[in-house]
Amino acid sequence: MANPTGLLHGGMQCALMDDTIGMTTATLGYEGFPISIDFHVDYLGKVKVGEKVRVIGKIIREVRNIIHAICEILDIEGNLISTGNSNLLKTHFIPDYIKKADEISKK
């Protein structure tokens, strides 16, 4: 999705970072599914639709019920396009994809 100037829309940048943080938490083996309770984005650069980007997510801090994560979008030359940070609430909700994986592993 592009904005009227042909640049990657800010909402798409936010979605890329949200998905990346979600996949980052999914690899850490939490019992339940972490849910975003806030998300902040800073738009610092620009990239045209169709250009390649790299999205990097990191877990910065974890306490009893909250995970704090950050994310960056960089263009192919490594220039910073946007940054995001999110706090996620640890829950006991088990997503369907985990239930299905557990079923398969028991066979």
Higher pLDDT, 93 or 78: 78
Q: What's the pLDDT tens digit per position in 30-66?
A: 888 899 999 999 999 999 999 999 999 999 999 999 9
Q: Mind listing the domains of the chain with CATH numbers?
A: 10-106 (3.10.129.10)
**Model-level pTM?**
0.86
Q: What's the pLDDT tens digit per position in 76-89?
A: 999 999 999 999 99
Identify which of 5, 18, 15 has the alpha carbon closest to the alpha carbon of residue 46.
5
Residues forming beta bridges with residue 80, ordered by sequence position:
74
Count of CB atoms situated within 10 Å of the CB of 84? 23
Count of CB atoms situated within 10 Å of the CB of 8? 23
Higher pLDDT, 82 or 4: 82
